[in-house]
Amino acid sequence: MKKAINLFVLIFLFLPITTFASKIHSNTYSNNNTPESIIDHVYQQANLKGVIDYQVFKEGYNAYYQAKGRKKQILTIIDYSKPSTEKRFFVIDLHQNKLIYRTYVSHGVNSGGRKATRFSNRVNSRQTSLGTFLTDTTYYGGNGYSLKLDGLTRGINDNARRRYIVVHGAKYATESFIKRHGYLGRSWGCPALPTGLSRQIIDTIKGGSVIYAHA
C-alpha cells in the first residue's frame, strides 16, 4: 500500500514538470535550426524588411548574441550608413520580435555633415564610435536625462566611458530641426535622440540591453 502511494505521488509531481517542459520546447527553436534561419525568422516576424537592411540586422543580432553581460532581450541598431535626415535608430524587442522605436539620431560633429564618414575611439575627437555597446544606468547631466554606455568592442569603442559617450535627448535631433536647416544637428560623439522620445527610449533600453552601431 505504501509503495502504491509513493508511486502515485511521484507520478503527480512529475506530470506538471514534463507538461511544462513540452510547452517551453514548443515555443523555442529546435537544435536543427541554423543561426541564419533564426535571424531570418526574427527579421520577418518583426517586419523589418524595407526598414533595416538584412545584413545590418544580422550583424546586430550576432553582436547581441555575443555580448557579455546583457540582461534584456532588447537590441538597438544604429545605422550610420544612412544620412542623419533619415530615421536610423531602431529598438527591437527580441522577446516579442517587434520593432518598438524607429527615430532620428545624431552623429558627432567631426564625423561628417549630413552623413557620418569618420569614426573614432579617441578622447576629445568629437566623432561617433561604432561597434557594440551595453547600456548601464541613467543620470541627470548637462544634457538632461542621460544613459551611460560601456563600449564592448576593443579598440573601436572601449573608451566610451572616458569620452562620456551617452544616450541623451537634444533639440537639434528633431524632425523640426531638419525642416528648418535641411540636416540634423550634431553632437560631440553621443547618439542624441529627439527630446520627445529620449526619456521613454532610455527607460526602455537602460540596464543591460545591447546597442550595435553600424556604418
Of the given ranges (35-39, 82-86, 103-107), which has the lowest mean pLDDT? 35-39
- How confident is the model over 55-72, as pLDDT tens digits? 999 999 999 999 999 999
One-letter amino acid of 183:
Y
Number of CB atoms found within 10 A of residue 33's CB: 12
pLDDT at 34: 87
The pTM assigned to this predicted structure is 0.85
Flag whether 31 is in a domain: no
Flag whether 52 is in a domain: yes
Instruction: Print the domain residue range for 92.
Output: 46-214
Flag whether 22 is in a domain: no
Spatial distance between the Cα atoms of 144 and 191, rounded to a whole number of angstroms: 14
- Domain CATH number, residue 67: 2.40.440.10
- What lies within 8 Å, CB to CB, of 73 at 6+ separation is 93, 94, 95
Pair type for strands 74-79 and 144-151: unpaired
Number of domains in the chain: 1
**The residue count for the chain:** 215
Flag whether 76 is in a domain: yes
Of the given ranges (12-26, 96-110, 126-140, 171-185), which has the lowest mean pLDDT? 12-26
Flag whether 200 is in a domain: yes
Spatial distance between the Cα atoms of 113 and 135, rounded to a whole number of angstroms: 27
Q: Are 170 and 185 in contact (CB under 8 A)?
A: yes
Spatial distance between the Cα atoms of 111 and 129, rounded to a whole number of angstroms: 9
